[in-house]
Structure 1
Amino acid sequence: MEVLTEIKQAVMGLLSRREYSRCEIERKYLSRFDANALSEVLDQCEEMGYQSDQRCAESLVRNKISQGYGLLKILQEGRRKGLDELYINAALTEANPDWFAIATELYQRKFAKEPEQPDRKAYEKRMRYITSRGFSFDQAKAAHEYHLESIKNYPN
């Protein structure tokens, strides 16, 4: 089998499952294939529309927002995948997420069943969890305050 055909089959098999950034594909196959041949195949895949970093960024943003991740985590994941921040920022602008609402929804989902404990340790644990998901401290604090208000207003 010709080398270019083998590379193309491998890349197409990968892209048939989900969107991959060019950088991810290069990392995966550089040890297996010649760099110049791989680059040539990836150029062809881009030209034919099979691989697109822009589409990959859009997919990443949609998936991470739906999974309850914040801006910082999305940017970090985009850098890990080797995506240009311009693509990520464009996808974020298109999605126009309400980070405070997403953080609040995550907080409610994660901590709704736990009894509200007014101690500092529980508060810090909750803030660490929300911020570890990529939300700012202000967003985490707003989610916590909303949760406290909803508990107060909920009839027993």
Structure 2
Amino acid sequence: MTAPKFPKMLNYTALKQQFSEEENLVLSPPSETHLNFSAEKQTKTQEGLTGTRLRSYAFATLTRKEYSKADLIEKLCLYAANRDEVIELVDELAQENYQSDQRVAEMTVRSQVRQGKGPNRIKMALRHKQLDKDLVTEDLTEIDWYEQAYQLKVKKYGTEVAQDAKIKAKQIRFLQYRGFEMDAIMKAIRRKVSED
């Protein structure tokens, strides 16, 4: 047998002994000062934010994204010490127009319309954000839902009016899922190119 290509450079038995001694050192119980430090650290994290620190966090949160009043309260309560202080702070922010449910509702409507959603899906999104749909009733009435439904149908299925009942049913289900009313759906799937 020939000599190995790589000579044996490490003494494995010495390394095993060395590491087994280090493991025994690591497994020894921690000192009492270590335990006191971790207990002190835990109480500090449980205290939560108050006063100016809470206010600063609220402003930092609002600079990144618009929140509804209910969502902002829930987000701040995760880090605050007192829920009543959070509610008082959010009310103050709303009075000074740093937080506005109206703005959030309008942004939600615009975003949902861009995504091809109908009035029913928009109302669901507003309910999910705990916003009153009365904030944007005027905006919802200004939108031409027939045209929105037709444009969505054309984008997905083309301009041809389907004669097959299965294809019509598929188009109806698609537009219903997107949140359109039945009268807008029926006009959209029956509309011919000549009517444009």
Q: Are the structure 2 counterparts of residues 3 and 51 from structure 1 closer, same or farther at C-alpha, using a change threshold of 3 Å?
A: same
Structure possessing the higher radius of gyration over alpha carbons? 2
Q: Are the structure 2 counterparts of residues 91 and 24 from structure 1 closer, same or farther at C-alpha, using a change threshold of 3 Å?
A: farther
Give the match for residue 6 of structure 2.
Answer: none
Does the residue aligned with 1:16 lie in a helix, a strand or coil? helix
Over the matched positions of the two proteins, sequence identity in percent amounts to 29
Q: Which runs of 5+ in 1 are unaligned?
A: none
Distance 1:112 1:28 in 2: 44
Give the match for residue 92 of structure 1.
Answer: 140
Give the match for residue 141 of structure 1.
Answer: 186
CA shift for structure 1 position 145:
1.0
The Cα RMSD (Å) is: 2.3
Q: Are the structure 2 counterparts of residues 120 and 27 from structure 1 closer, same or farther at C-alpha, using a change threshold of 3 Å?
A: farther
CA shift for structure 1 position 83:
0.8
Does the residue aligned with 1:134 lie in a helix, a strand or coil? coil
2:130 to 82, 101, 107: 82
Q: Which runs of 5+ in 2 are unaligned?
A: 1-47
Give the match for residue 101 of structure 1.
Answer: 147
**Alpha-carbon deviations, 1:14-64, whole Å to 9, x = none?**
322332110111233334322111112212211221101111111112222
Q: Contact (CA 8 Å) 2:118, 2:149: kept in 1 or not?
A: yes
TM-score normalised according to structure 1 size: 0.80
TM-score normalised according to structure 2 size: 0.65
**How many residue pairs were aligned?**
146
Does the residue aligned with 2:99 lie in a helix, a strand or coil? coil
Does the residue aligned with 1:5 lie in a helix, a strand or coil? helix
Give the match for residue 65 of structure 1.
Answer: 113
Larger RCO, structure (CA 8 Å, separation 6 or more):
1
Does the residue aligned with 1:19 lie in a helix, a strand or coil? coil
